[in-house]
A and B are shown apart, each in its own frame.
Chain A
């Protein structure tokens, strides 16, 4: 992977100027490359990684992982069915999976009712959906490589040879 991407994946705020210094390149070249990545969709967008457990407000959200079994149908590939599912705004992630079911769908809702009504009234009713199994998420420990803990204290002594 290009080191520009490695740096940005770690901290999306790193400026093109700083990346240029780190990689001994011209800022202009770095900017152009980033533009290109954005245009090609390699970089889709930049966002903050939140520890939602520490965000105290009313609309904290409940998540569920839903296993979805699909009835394959002639001329309708998985992609088409997946599109019908992931287009719902309630769906935050959607993956095609190997194994005993087909799609893993991550749904977010205000509470248990909104999530279950989405499953019962929308997802299960789709023509090609044979069955679903819903797992409510109880606690998040790590997400996308980030361990969701308070910032770690420094454990090194401040000065040494």
Chain B
């Protein structure tokens, strides 16, 4: 029986903070700033569309690529919002969230030992998905440049085995985003070296200080980009599991091949609800965004004033303050804070081994919770320093 588990799976690193997560889940009355999803429920018109689709008897499979009307809506949305053209027939695939889309894209482009660049700290799935697809993740530590990837740093990491980069902005866990100018410079380096950009823009609608610039909208970039977006964050639809990928038709065709056998298609209920989200969701998105923006100011101000220095995140709903001055590493800090003050945060090491001096704080939480959590953290910090 000892060879039941494949070597590939055996080699996957178990998450070092699983035990910490279990600790949080087992405790009562904790204020959690460790949640990576909106605290809003899906706006009612979207939920209602899901319910009525069930009432009307939409309970079947859909086309592998996803409902045509959803692909059409996605295509129109991207044209109106960013001026980018994606053909709903061949260049858009509806997936089970960005999670599935990213997996498909990596499996579609990676040959054994191809390298995939991952600016870090990064969302947790990128490295393991790359490895499962047979690739080698190459992490680029962005700490020194206030969590921003620079063109020079990017160029230094590219060699002839580099196939692609997973580029996520606004970023989970740092909230960092990029201006048009910065993106253009990065795009030039990628094009010059023929590196495919897997652009995870799932937090695009939650960008606060400037208009989000979509990677495929950059001049000359589109042929080398797979664009990812989904409904989870902007429409508060995490549980529905819908997202999409857009890209050159050969890549989308490759991804569709895998998707048709592994997933077949996304749940029709979720696809119907997602259609409604694109039609009526704009005002709700704006309203939630204003709320996040206010919490962001409050939380960043609060963290800095209790002595945890924190850069200004331009998007998503995360802050990534340094805890270096406490002398604790991020896991110890998180455990101690949980035990002593009942506040949960995610240790920075969850997003890359080097980030033991940081914690991730999610402000997808009510204002009252944020205020009380900051008060408790302030008490905690006084005891440490």
Contact = CB atoms under 8 A, between A and B. Distances in A.
A113 interface: no
B32 A161 contact: no
A159 B32 contact: yes
B294 A3 contact: yes
A23 B208 CA distance: 12
B5 interface: no
Contacts of A18: 298, 367, 371
Q: Which of the four size classes fits the interface of chain A?
A: 10 to 19
Given A159-B32, A159-B35, A11 B172 contact: no
A160 B35 contact: yes
Contacts of A158: 24-25, 30, 32, 34-35, 344
A45 interface: no
Interface in B330-348: 344, 346
B297 A160 contact: no
A11 B367 contact: yes
A23 B124 contact: no
Nearest to A25: B297
Given A158-B25, A158-B34, A161-B350, 9 more contacts: A3-B294, A11-B367, A14-B367, A18-B371, A21-B302, A23-B294, A156-B39, A157-B35, A159-B21
Interface string A140-161: 0000000000000001111111
B48 interface: no
B34 A159 contact: yes
A22 B297 contact: yes
Contact of B297 (A11, A23, A156): A23
B123 interface: yes
A145 B172 CA distance: 33
Interface string B4-40: 0000000000000000010011000010101111010
Nearest to A15: B371
Most chain-B Cβ atoms within 10 A of its Cβ — which of A18, A155, A157, A159?
A159
19 contacts: A14-B367, A18-B367, A21-B301, A21-B302, A22-B295, A22-B298, A24-B297, A155-B41, A157-B25, A158-B24, A158-B35, A159-B24, A159-B25, A159-B34, A159-B35, A160-B34, A160-B35, A161-B123, A161-B350
Contacts of A21: 297-298, 301-302
A60 to B, nearest CB: 29
Given A21-B302, A22-B298, A159 B371 contact: no
Contacts of A23: 294, 297
B200 to A, nearest CB: 13
Interface in A107-127: none
Interface of B: 21, 24-25, 30, 32, 34-37, 39, 41, 123-125, 172, 290, 294-295, 297-298, 301-302, 344, 346, 350, 367, 371
Contacts, number: 52
A40 interface: no
A21 B293 CA distance: 11
B344 A159 contact: yes
B75 to A, nearest CB: 30
Contacts of A11: 367
B165 to A, nearest CB: 20
B208 to A, nearest CB: 11
A161 B298 contact: no
A96 interface: no
A75 interface: no
A156 B294 contact: no
Nearest to B302: A21
A97 B124 CA distance: 56
A102 B306 CA distance: 58
A22 B300 CA distance: 10
A161 B171 CA distance: 12
B294 A161 contact: no
Contacts of B25: 157-159
A25 B34 CA distance: 28
Contact of A156 (B24, B30, B35): B35
Contacts of B301: 21
B1 to A, nearest CB: 32
B37 A160 contact: yes
- The list of the 6 closest CB pairs from A to B, nearest first, reads A22-B294, A159-B34, A158-B32, A160-B36, A159-B24, A21-B298
